[in-house]
């Protein structure tokens, strides 16, 4: 058993240095968001190629680190036409190049709305996902959609509804229980987790792991795994029940907590 990490949690570095640093913390795989993690190569829209992808993947592989997921965190709900097209095209480029990085998954959240134009945002998102699903089908890869509070798709039922509207087997789910928790529902964390896996478990392609706690002002905040109050035994039981051997990736973990968080997740995995 092993767990991975979001590569940019280790730092934004030249990719060969980044690969070595990830390995030094005993992580065997990463979710790699190119624009957040790599400092020495221009990975902007139009710059990716099979050669560049192969070189990056080989650098990680030489350090015993795989890249099972690419992160392409762009807003899929932009109302500005040019911004919307740029974001969708960037994601499509990642889908085309994914297998050259050694993966078949490109992950994103949906985007945070900043006005009350709900119907327009919904129409944008559906249009984007339909286009991305068509591209994913061409290349035999998966979109990994993640629900996250404050985003247009912020709950498991909302994500399940979106998936039901777009009949494509190439739409997968990245599941992160903490991203589904809010100030109003965290006390019912068990029900929130159970609902998420019941609705989305069959679609899960990757899992993110972090934790949550209530701060001194009574506000819910996120922390790294093992430093909060998420019921990790239930979390890992649900993961093993629905998607055994799925990649579990630490998120939001500081350098000084990496060993603690990695070992905490591994301990709970071993117990189930």
**How far is C-alpha 215 from the geometric centre of its chain's CA atoms?**
25
- Using alpha carbons only, what angle is made at residue 25 by residues 95 and 234, rounded to the nearest 5 degrees? 75
**How far is C-alpha 13 from the geometric centre of its chain's CA atoms?**
20
Structure-token match 């902007």, residue found:
44
Full residue range of the structural domain in which residue 253 is found:
4-271
How far apart CA 142 and CA 195 sit, in angstroms, is: 23
Phi and psi of 80, rounded to 5°?
Answer: -75, 125
How far apart CA 69 and CA 33 sit, in angstroms, is: 9
Q: Dihedral of the CA atoms 48, 53, 59, 64 (nearest 10)?
A: 140
Render each residue's pLDDT in the chain as its tens digit; 272 residues. 689 999 999 999 999 999 999 999 999 999 999 999 999 999 999 999 999 999 999 999 999 999 999 999 999 999 999 999 999 999 999 999 999 999 999 999 999 999 889 999 999 999 999 999 999 999 999 999 999 999 999 999 999 999 999 999 999 999 999 999 999 999 999 999 999 999 999 999 999 999 999 999 999 999 999 999 999 999 999 999 999 999 999 999 999 999 999 999 999 999 99
Which CATH number does the domain housing residue 160 bear? 3.20.20.150
Q: Domains in the chain: how many in total?
A: 1
Beta strands in 50-138 (DSSP E): 66-71, 105-108
> What's the predicted TM-score (pTM) here?
0.96
């Amino acid at each position: 058993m092993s767990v991975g990490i979001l590569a940019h949690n280790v730092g934004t570095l030249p990719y060969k240095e980044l690969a070595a640093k990830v390995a030094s913390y005993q992580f065997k795989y990463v979710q790699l968001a190119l624009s957040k993690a790599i400092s020495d190569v221009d990975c902007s829209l139009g710059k990716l190629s099979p050669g560049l992808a192969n070189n990056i993947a080989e650098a990680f592989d030489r350090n015993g680190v795989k890249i099972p997921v690419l992160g392409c965190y762009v807003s899929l709900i932009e109302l500005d036409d040019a911004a919307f097209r740029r974001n969708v095209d960037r994601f499509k480029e990642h889908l085309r190049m994914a297998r050259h990085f050694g993966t078949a998954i490109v992950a994103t959240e949906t985007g945070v709305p900043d006005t009350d134009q709900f119907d327009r945002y919904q129409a944008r998102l559906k249009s984007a996902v339909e286009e991305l699903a068509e591209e994913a089908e061409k290349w035999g890869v998966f979109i990994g959609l993640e629900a996250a509070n404050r985003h247009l798709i912020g709950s498991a039922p909302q994500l399940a509804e979106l998936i039901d509207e777009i009949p494509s087997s190439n739409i997968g789910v990245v599941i992160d229980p903490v991203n589904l928790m809010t100030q109003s529902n965290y006390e019912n964390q068990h029900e929130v987790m159970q609902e998420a896996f019941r609705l989305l478990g069959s679609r899960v392609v990757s899992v993110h792991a972090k934790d949550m706690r209530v701060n001194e002002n009574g506000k819910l905040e996120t922390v790294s795994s093992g430093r909060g109050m998420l019921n990790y035994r239930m979390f890992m039981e649900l993961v093993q029940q629905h998607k055994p051997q799925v990649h579990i990736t630490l998120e939001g973990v500081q350098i000084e907590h990496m060993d603690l968080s990695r070992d905490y997740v591994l301990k709970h995995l071993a117990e189930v």
